[in-house]
Amino acid sequence: MEDYKNKSDSYWREKLTPMEYEVLRKKGTERAGTGKYDQHFEKGKYVCAAYGTELFESEAKYDAGCGWPSFYDKAKTDSVSEAEDNSFGMKRTEVLCSRCGGHLGHVFPDGPKPTGARYCINSAALNFKKK
């Protein structure tokens, strides 16, 4: 199995669009309300834009009104991991693709039942596979 976490910067710059690179590799954030999946509610699966691994299912997506795609749960796989993020003087939980280490967004404890989680994810980190 190929190790995508240790790919070179030039590999990622060539593989990803500039916005995907900024978000996934440099931990950037797209502007609120600008992402293609913010108000996208088709049935299917959301996968990592860098690696293609399944991250979230459409059944867990909801409109949080925050300007980014929001999910109350991750896919039933080990493809999403979390890490402490203390950048910008805030204490947050970063969400990452477990396979490539790409930054997806953050998870907050203000989501709906049944989990109470709000996975706030950048559209640029995602691709969509329709059912």
Give the residue numbers annotated as catalytic, written as ranges: 120
Helix runs in the chain, H state only = 9-15, 18-24
Radius of gyration (Cα) for the chain, nearest Å?
14
- Residue 80 amino acid letter: V
State the CB neighbour count (10 A cutoff) for residue 26: 10
